[in-house]
Structure 1
Amino acid sequence: MKSSLRIRIHYTLRSLLVAALAAYIMHLNASDSLEYYLAPHMQTLLLLCPVPLLFIAFGMMWHSLAGDSGEVCDCEHPLPAGLVKNVTVYGLFTVPLLFGLLLPDQALGSDMAAKKGMIYTYPNPDVRRKTDDRNTSAFSGTDKRLPGMDQGAEENIALNERFVAKDIYSVEFAELAKRLYTLPVIKVEPDIFSETVGAMDMYKEHFQGKTISVQGFVFRDGHMNEDTFAVSRFLVMCCTADAVPFGVLVRGTNAASFANDTWVQIDGTIQVATLNGKETLQIQAKQIQPVEQPASPYIFTNPDSVAEFDQLYSNDNETKEEIN
């Protein structure tokens, strides 16, 4: 049997910690800072937590303030005994909350990219969390007219011969590459950033000389020339713990004037360069200009990039028709 006072103190501390955790989640959502920590599909799950957590905190506080004031049997769930155990148990909740409240919410940058190692080719297909059903549904837009050209039978045949899927994982990239190839300017959209770069990298020999426009932050390591850097984004699968720095080499006459972590827009032409003995994409920049960091600085895998592409350019065409 233990004194109820000690139990009340512990329940009060626990209720405050749980309530603080719920409040912190709501703060991140209200300040649009969840993007810095979680992928969109994980944010939905996290946002289901504050209400249950507040109910738990209320229950603990009620038990602490209005519970039986007599002796309470605590033999089944003993409280932490000793200073070290108490500090350890409560520190597991307190320290993360303190870091979250005291440190600014900001996106990962070049320092973390240097530690993780910049990737210049599309990551292993396994990271895309694909299923056979998703692969099938991704090509629902195959019969649509490709943007930027009056598509005929001969042109279709030429594109199909040029962009042949190498395996089951590259079928979607082949379809996306056909669409990208028809564009007068390939704008790397954030919604399909990694898939766009992946498709061009897979068929890099066909995209040489094509015009491209892309935004990202500047990453430069000690092995790069002054006129070279990587325009980069962090690819997030679930949370920032698994974030992968993903970039494209850029070469330009004024590249040296842009420091690491500067957000820029690159307009130029696609080339093929050799990096560490492997061919990779490189942009010969015609124009490099600073831009504001986007509200959502990370990129995420898209389970249906072909359909997303069709939707994006369908909206663009509708907007142009309304203007005309």
Structure 2
Amino acid sequence: MIGGVWVTQFHESLRGIILVGFALLLINLIVSEKLANFISPKMHIYVYIALFIFLLLGFILILSSSSEMNAHQCGCAGDHSVPKTIFGSIFVYSLFIFPLVTGFLFSDHILTNDAAIKRGHKYGEGIFSSTSNGNPPSDPNLTSLEAKKIILLTNENFLPVLDQIERNLQHFVGKKVQLEGFVYREPDFTKDQIVVARFGVSCCTADAVVFGMAVNGDSLSSLSNDTWIRVKGTIDVLHYNDSELPVIVDPTVEKIDTPSQPYVYDTYEQNE
């Protein structure tokens, strides 16, 4: 009986430690400001709730494991069974420990060109096809965009402004534009064609899709895939796969460091 109680207490303690470990992983992502590398800011509230629950349950398990009251005396008449073999325990707990360890080791990983090739680039209309009438919740004003001397695509407005340009391309031909992104190439692009791309995230990186604007220029062949650049140029029309798409011509290209926030999100709110 004593041995059984010790085994139960050990498993409770280990489970509590694992829960606290996941809480510490979330705290690390929050403090290091890397949480946005995995989920959209609109989902962060659920991470905070999970963090609280992990800490609460983890400490309860750890404290109960060191208490004189063991699992068989809780009075709940429930099943408190633990894995019957050592190998069973190793297998079950490794399912939780392995992602926990890898989370600490690779918490700064971001999606790259390899993932972009597998997922493909989102072209044409419909960036916000999942929302009402195909428009983002707060669509940037078309007249306001046309009045700008230079259209700046920032982290905050990247998706809705790109959506406006694609849906109203003829209004923007000849306009100056500036944006930042990583170098991505379609398999059938020439050496002087690239896409200045960003991963757009709706909820988490599992649903990330590549968005961006094509660029044509003689100096682009020397740029390696995944290189982060800032591009400024003039919007023109590219005929690609039976679609008319915006393309930047006469570009000025500047290499930049990978930004702290590499993804863009559909959380734009206009402040005009």
Give the TM-score normalised by the residue count of structure 2: 0.90
Structure 1 contact 218–259 (Cα < 8 Å) conserved:
yes
Distance in 1 between residues matched to 2:61 and 2:256, nearest whole Å? 49
Distance in 1 between residues matched to 2:48 and 2:136, nearest whole Å? 35
- Report deviation, 1:238: 0.8
- Report deviation, 1:17: 0.2
| 33-42 or 72-81, which deviates more | 72-81
The alignment-based identity, stated in percent, is 27
- Report deviation, 1:88: 3.9
- Report deviation, 1:189: 2.2
Report whether the alignment pairs 1:94 with 2:59: no
The superposition leaves residues 170-227 of structure 1 with CA deviations (integer Å, 9 ceiling, x where unpaired) of 4978862221111111111221101101101001122111111111111113321110
- Report deviation, 1:86: 2.7
Aligned to 1:283: 248
- Report deviation, 1:283: 0.7
Unmatched tracts of structure 2, length 5 or more: none
Report whether the alignment pairs 1:236 with 2:201: yes
Report whether the alignment pairs 1:10 with 2:6: no
- Report deviation, 1:62: 1.3
What does 1:176-215 align with in structure 2 at a 5 Å threshold? 176-215=141-180
Aligned to 1:105: 108
Distance in 1 between residues matched to 2:85 and 2:241, nearest whole Å? 55
Aligned to 1:32: 33
What does 1:129-168 align with in structure 2 at a 5 Å threshold? 168=133
Structure 1 contact 195–302 (Cα < 8 Å) conserved:
no
Distance in 2 between residues matched to 1:284 and 1:105, nearest whole Å? 34
- Report deviation, 1:85: 4.0
What does 1:214-225 align with in structure 2 at a 5 Å threshold? 214-225=179-190
Structure-2 change in CA distance of 1:30 and 1:201 (3 Å): same
AA in 2 matched with 1:15: G
| 288-297 or 225-234, which deviates more | 288-297
Of Structure 1 and Structure 2, the greater helix share is in 1
Structure-2 change in CA distance of 1:48 and 1:174 (3 Å): closer
Structure-2 change in CA distance of 1:122 and 1:107 (3 Å): farther
Structure 1 contact 234–243 (Cα < 8 Å) conserved:
yes
Distance in 2 between residues matched to 1:250 and 1:187, nearest whole Å? 16
RMSD, aligned α-carbons: 2.4
Q: Secondary structure at the match of 1:297?
A: coil
Unmatched tracts of structure 1, length 5 or more: 131-167, 311-324
Structure-2 change in CA distance of 1:193 and 1:279 (3 Å): same
Distance in 2 between residues matched to 1:171 and 1:31, nearest whole Å? 30
